[in-house]
Amino acid sequence: MARDQVLVVEDNARNMRLLRDVLQATGYRTLEASTGGQALTLAAEHRPAVVLMDVRLPDMDGMEALRRLKMDERTASIPVLAVTAQAMKGDRERFTEAGFDGYLSKPVDLDELLAVVQIYCGGGRQDMPSA
């Protein structure tokens, strides 16, 4: 398992760039997927330390992509965090029940993002500014 590698699943190019830039500036390596299908392939190939999963994707929703990751023994143990604009009451519970390991609401708070990623990656470069 690649301890410093984060798989970002996001079909919006601007959101992707933001997440990638802040993660890389903090010292993490990133993998980038814009569809659920790409996410499954990259996760199985590279076994990143954590997956940031947009919930609305063009080919399948993040719930379905999560389900498939958890069914595949190569990827079942990788923590997956939902990243979603749906911030309605009860969403956190709904995502947790679906099997997500955590939840970040959009627009993503970058300090919160890095704090959560650090839990799974155990660091990044501590000498870099966090955001």
Smallest gap from Cβ 57 to Mn ion, in A, equals 6
Smallest gap from Cβ 55 to Mn ion, in A, equals 7
- Calculate the dihedral angle through the C-alpha atoms of 80, 45, 19, 101, rounding to the nearest 10 degrees: 10
Q: Please identify, using beta-carbon distances, which residue of 87 and 128 lies nearer to Mn ion.
A: 87
Smallest gap from Cβ 1 to Mn ion, in A, equals 26
11-30 residues in contact with Mn ion (CB under 5 A) are: 11
Element (H, E) at 3: strand 2-9
Q: Among 17, 45, 56, 85, which residue sits at the site for Mn ion (rule: CB under 5 A)?
A: 56
Of the ranges 3-11, 88-96, 108-116, 122-130, which one interacts with Mn ion (CB under 5 A)? 3-11
Joined tokens for residue 87: 């911030």
* d(C-alpha 60, C-alpha 12), whole Å: 15
Handedness of CA 18, 104, 111, 39 (dihedral sign): negative
Catalog residues that contact Mn ion under the rule CB under 5 A.
11, 54, 56
